[in-house]
Structure 1
């Protein structure tokens, strides 16, 4: 332990002991010092509140001082603005001990503050990948000067990036930054919930060009199977069935009075409805979700530090890293999407001495009850989802090519690959995307150079190409204003659909009556009313996609296995009803084909959305004429015979098919219009397939069941 302290800058070590009151470093912090000082890449793993930020920042500040780095030399990248806001004061304190500075740059930071950062470059910049992209393409930022001193990048909650397209975007931006800086960048990822850290480190390191030595540092994690994650932590976990949002509000208002409670919901609409119900019962309530204004979200963030007897209701926006201080309870409505998300949320509690981790699940319906029980069962088995980057992000290849041309004004037609060093999808395989961009006018080509073309100007040029820096497609929303105060944003359908009487919205947990709609500027003006508001948001990719493992756990629950947590009487009774209702659809020895008296025929595979989509595509049109599938079952032809089924199974053994992609789904893929239609559909098809799980299902015995009328 003294050796690790000796390696740190002595001024920093002095303040760690005297200002923080730490007489020892935690195991992760101790093990991270030497490799990070040596410039190695790393993934640092520790439970929530395990000191990962200090494990990364203390060695990098030491290295910064010893090597005399000037200007912005370290980036601290986070997936959420709330996390950046929360971290900034802490990092500002640490950097200040050594006479160094920090800066905050994201979409909520004012223009004047950004201008000051351009003049007085901070040593550490806290930001998001989208803000980095904006800086690279902005005509107001001299990116070569600003990033000339860049050496290291810390990626907090790295698993939140790597599991979706934001990860590919981040990786591509880091490669461009390395080329701008003129040196390979040290990359340090921080995470609490990863099932496959070695693979994640390999992905994070990017291109082979200039790759540094790398290691996974996880002193608090015991070895687990490749697909497993953190061990089940101790705590108080309870599963209850309440049946509605209103009933959930009654339970939350009655329990744990005087304590600070954080409630997670799986949709913005549920956040709003629960917030309203809690306020009607006199509970001090704060809300947080992506469609609320900056001021509304900051009230919820401040409540973590300042409030006591209150309830904070949130989507996943408060799931990651933000310091929750003396939070007492976590409550979950229905089930989170993944075991990894549950681990993050569970880690919000149990931080005070003498307290334990806890989470109360409140199921709103039977589906939510089964999903919660299945998730808790998988958690008890020490299983957590491996972090897998989405395959074949061709749409992001198109976006990055356009962004690079915007950044550099012109790029050699044979030189663009060098900007990404052949990283994954940005290598030679991207050539067809380049040809398409040129053919369709997104890029112009002249004298061996590529530059922004008229089609890109037309589609993305609005407000200095702002739309080109956002990776995700979001439906247009209207800004809701009460006088001059912004409350948040709402779905335009709520403002255009036919209603009886006054039009009322539910936003920030309060009801508002619409007084005026400015359609040209997408603004809606409202006045407060007592009740009657409605909340709704549409969006692409908001549906819950269940994995093979979680869906099979649901089958295990229906077959009688309970998760090892406390079940209330209501939950036990409702589970018993669900088991009775599904007695003919589950079997421990394989899958079941059920023909109902009305002619409806379903194959109950319990295999998850992607496996079922793969199976349905393989069986089309012989026995499964419907494209749309469910996580639990596949609808079959109502006149299907056993002989036809046997022939279909024999043919399926010869090879599986990619799922068919509905043209409407392509519209949810940002920048899909910049791809050939076949490549856009192929991208989605590749992301929808699950061949391994589908083959597992095909190898299982199939039982046929005929239900009698009335069952």
Structure 2
């Protein structure tokens, strides 16, 4: 432990101190780096909170390198986990420079790294391994990777953008992997999470800790008041948004966020039509296309990159002058990540402009900005009964161990918080289902993959097991040898032969489709239609919906609203003046009755099913309201009576949530649902798509 008067800088090894001053050119450590260094040198687990570009990477790796050098750690001794490959690519030069100061090496492992390079690493490991959880799973289950030997020297794991993991399936998968790694290493691994935005960091710290017996420490230094410059504008359409972006900040580097791939393509095409040098980034563009866009954008000056949330996480694309947000982002945390892309140069500040194309998005953006200004950030609620991830882990252990002993499989993952509320009975139910369905088979006291498990998950050498999330049916798009990206196969099926579509901001004509191989060959075209990609509906959280209602009922106009936004918000407030009459008003019009709940998408999903049960079809849920149409809307009195019944205390229960979970899901939410007995499957679905209000 540190002397009470000793600074973290003084505690670092002499070689690290030398390079901090002479190689990095730092005059000292920032507050977040001081606090983090103390925590890591004391051997504590920690979650480190600091703004984007706040020095979190150095905060974690300078003390780790000091320990690595001073204590003679083997290789690989530090594992760096990122949610996306692009962040690995972006951080690799930075970590290589830091490690190189002490003659230590870094290796990056993901799907684009060749087999020969991976083979050399397994024979002669680098000190720091950079990878994603999916690639780590590949390493653990592959017969070609000696994972037990490889991870024997592991001492610490750094999880970047930890908030991006904690609330979904990938987080449950991640903490399961940490428990398996800890068993391979045979020691209590130090766990370090880095984040710019999380509303409940102590809960995330406990979630990350698992079976670790180390102390946990939250590193959250005081932050100066935000000096961000924010504007909320009303533009009415995507083409108008393009005109505003083209006209504002000419000669500067700009980043525009749009929350769908289709609208990224629309905005990108409109900007290019306006003569703006424009690059596109979304998950359906090929890795080469995205890399070209990143490199061109980073070296440019007068240009715009249009992106989905793929550009939200820690990727450094150079000095940005301003961020544009077209319509509302999904959360306050998401907005914080996005505005953090700008204002990194000394003497500059963060700048963001909202450009809203719909009245509803304008009001939602206004509400979200009020929450942001108040300091609110959404809590991330980690899963504690991830039955589907537990099924995936059983299958992975079957491969990792070449057949896992029945008496031992649970011990591998028991400490993961994502399974902390799974009872022994539920584990037995799950394993019983997998055995009865032939997904796994018991042989000589061990579990091995069964014939149905092979059929479901052995596609392309078990690739279906590596990623916890489900991928939609896609076609790879090629122009000659160049891969452009992917398109939704179901959408392409609906097109006439030889149709044209826009991808990557360019129009392409379909010349040939090989459905068996999943290939779509194209050639340049003068114009094309914009694609649709399948995706889940946006379920807005209740807190944001409630703030929207308050914003609509308020008369105050916020200082960041432009003149156009003020005029449009006055009209939107006038259209919603009826909200003042009661807490959840019911409004009737020809053929439709609308119940304005402002309870959020998940609660409205459940309430809509309960109304439909009482009234018949058709009841349609949204985030702010539930619409009753068709035969169900014949009697306003009957609708109001059904609503009164639902609003009675105790009228809506968790049993209702489970009962309607499958019908609310609309589509499978996990490729591992076939492993789950019906009771567990319905409970899994209920937590995802419905909520008892």
TM-score interval, smaller chain: over 0.9
What are the Cα deviations for residues 123-152 of structure 1, in whole angstroms up to 9, with x where unaligned? Answer: 001110000001111121111121111110
Number of residues of Structure 1 aligned to a counterpart in Structure 2: 676
Contact 1:618–1:658 (CA<8 Å) still a contact in 2? Answer: no
- Measured in 2, the distance between the counterparts of 1:243 and 1:197 equals 38
In the other structure, the counterpart of 2:470 is 473
In the other structure, the counterpart of 1:444 is 441
3-state SS in 1 of match to 2:621: coil
In the other structure, the counterpart of 2:657 is 658
Cα offset for 1:570?
A: 2.1
- Measured in 2, the distance between the counterparts of 1:627 and 1:183 equals 55
Contact 2:402–2:448 (CA<8 Å) still a contact in 1? Answer: yes
What are the Cα deviations for residues 416-449 of structure 1, in whole angstroms up to 9, with x where unaligned? Answer: 1110134335453422111111111111112322
- Out of 251, 268, 274, the position equivalent to 1:281 is 274
- Measured in 1, the distance between the counterparts of 2:418 and 2:221 equals 33
Q: 1:110 to 1:434 in 2, by over 3 A?
A: same
1:469-548 alignment to 2 at 5 Å? 469-499=466-496, 502-539=498-535, 541=536, 543-548=537-542
| Structure 2, gaps ≥5 residues long | none
Contact 2:587–2:594 (CA<8 Å) still a contact in 1? Answer: yes
- Measured in 1, the distance between the counterparts of 2:557 and 2:209 equals 38
Cα offset for 1:646?
A: 4.5
In the other structure, the counterpart of 1:575 is 569
In the other structure, the counterpart of 2:134 is 130
Contact 1:263–1:330 (CA<8 Å) still a contact in 2? Answer: yes
- Measured in 1, the distance between the counterparts of 2:114 and 2:242 equals 37
Cα offset for 1:565?
A: 4.1
In the other structure, the counterpart of 1:252 is 245
| Structure 1, gaps ≥5 residues long | 222-230, 695-711
- Out of 307, 318, 336, the position equivalent to 2:329 is 336
Contact 2:179–2:412 (CA<8 Å) still a contact in 1? Answer: yes
Cα offset for 1:651?
A: 6.3
What are the Cα deviations for residues 608-653 of structure 1, in whole angstroms up to 9, with x where unaligned? Answer: 1122234445556336865641111234553235666555544645
- Measured in 1, the distance between the counterparts of 2:503 and 2:179 equals 40
Cα offset for 1:392?
A: 2.8
Contact 1:304–1:327 (CA<8 Å) still a contact in 2? Answer: no
- Measured in 1, the distance between the counterparts of 2:585 and 2:483 equals 53
What are the Cα deviations for residues 143-171 of structure 1, in whole angstroms up to 9, with x where unaligned? Answer: 11211111100000000000111000000
What are the Cα deviations for residues 79-106 of structure 1, in whole angstroms up to 9, with x where unaligned? Answer: 1111111111011011111111000111
1:339-418 alignment to 2 at 5 Å? 339-418=332-411
3-state SS in 2 of match to 1:550: helix
- Measured in 2, the distance between the counterparts of 1:406 and 1:666 equals 29
In the other structure, the counterpart of 1:702 is none
- Measured in 2, the distance between the counterparts of 1:560 and 1:206 equals 45
User: What is the RMSD computed on CA atoms of the aligned residues?
Assistant: 2.1
- Measured in 2, the distance between the counterparts of 1:643 and 1:511 equals 53
- Out of 299, 305, 313, the position equivalent to 1:306 is 299
Q: 1:689 to 1:515 in 2, by over 3 A?
A: closer
Q: Tell whether 2:546 aligns with 1:552.
A: yes
In the other structure, the counterpart of 1:699 is none
Contact 1:480–1:487 (CA<8 Å) still a contact in 2? Answer: yes
* Between 426-435 and 147-156, the greater mean CA deviation after superposition: 426-435
What are the Cα deviations for residues 302-323 of structure 1, in whole angstroms up to 9, with x where unaligned? Answer: 2453111110111111111112
- Out of 317, 326, 330, the position equivalent to 1:324 is 317
Q: 1:377 to 1:623 in 2, by over 3 A?
A: farther
Cα offset for 1:291?
A: 0.9
Q: 1:621 to 1:352 in 2, by over 3 A?
A: same
3-state SS in 1 of match to 2:531: coil
Q: 1:390 to 1:623 in 2, by over 3 A?
A: farther
In the other structure, the counterpart of 1:205 is 209
- Measured in 2, the distance between the counterparts of 1:154 and 1:577 equals 49
Contact 1:623–1:645 (CA<8 Å) still a contact in 2? Answer: no
* Between 489-498 and 40-49, the greater mean CA deviation after superposition: 489-498
* Between 384-393 and 146-155, the greater mean CA deviation after superposition: 384-393
Length-normalised TM-score, structure 1: 0.91
Q: 1:502 to 1:613 in 2, by over 3 A?
A: closer
* Between 421-430 and 144-153, the greater mean CA deviation after superposition: 421-430
- Measured in 2, the distance between the counterparts of 1:114 and 1:448 equals 34
* Between 286-295 and 107-116, the greater mean CA deviation after superposition: 107-116
- Out of 280, 285, 289, the position equivalent to 1:292 is 285
Q: Tell whether 2:93 aligns with 1:89.
A: yes
Contact 2:501–2:527 (CA<8 Å) still a contact in 1? Answer: no
Q: Tell whether 2:196 aligns with 1:195.
A: no
* Between 70-79 and 486-495, the greater mean CA deviation after superposition: 486-495
What are the Cα deviations for residues 647-676 of structure 1, in whole angstroms up to 9, with x where unaligned? Answer: 554464585631612456351323111212
Contact 1:149–1:181 (CA<8 Å) still a contact in 2? Answer: yes
In the other structure, the counterpart of 1:218 is 220
In the other structure, the counterpart of 1:601 is 593
- Measured in 2, the distance between the counterparts of 1:68 and 1:236 equals 48
In the other structure, the counterpart of 1:675 is 676
Contact 1:159–1:191 (CA<8 Å) still a contact in 2? Answer: yes
